[in-house]
Amino acid sequence: MADTFSIVVLISGNGSNLQAIIDSIAREQWPIEIKAVISNQSSAYGLQRAHAANIAVEVIERKQFTSRAAFDHALQTSLQHHNPDLIVLAGFMHILAPEFVQAFNNKLINIHPSLLPKFKGLNTHQRALDAAEKTHGCSVHYVTTELDAGQVIAQAQCDINTDESADSLQQKVHALEHELLPKVIHQLSQNTKNS
């Protein structure tokens, strides 16, 4: 279908956000196709989720390449082959090189477990607790050459309870991510169609 909005999802692990996207597309019958799921970890459980949904999978592991640049080049070549409308980083644990980001300018989005610009990088839940924050959440943003610094597209937030642990907060934020990321993908697909 010419009107189908195509995406490629990049993962490194469990793939729960990938599952949320798969389920939302099926439930809402959105005209969105996941062309491929690419992982930089052959052991990523998300690959099994993709197989179960009959989505093409690829594994491009860093250890297969002599340099980071060679890895990035292989990933870039694969993505150019699929030529998606949007590339979704859903728990993809690899810092992308500036040249890679620029090759897919405004086509790369990431889900980050904090209310950006607060708590860029890792260990966001514990850092939010340590900072005595009252609220926490997640952000979907465009990927730029600076880590977690691209334009925020949408956010979702939750309250932090007085007895909150990093684990309980992580579970809350995961639930928010599973709602927010599919919605943003759908929103972007509509924007493309109407532009």
| Mean pLDDT, contiguous 10-residue spans, the chain (195 residues) | 85 97 97 97 97 98 92 96 97 91 94 97 96 98 94 98 96 98 97 73
**Given this model, what pLDDT does residue 1 score?**
44
136 flagged as catalytic: no
C-alpha dihedral, 114 to 116 to 118 to 124, nearest 10°: 20
**Given this model, what pLDDT does residue 195 score?**
63
Per the structure block, which two tokens stand in for 65? 């390449």
Catalytic residue among 81, 94, 112, 178: 112
Residue 180: its H or E element: helix 166-194
**Given this model, what pLDDT does residue 95 score?**
87
Residue 5: its H or E element: strand 5-11
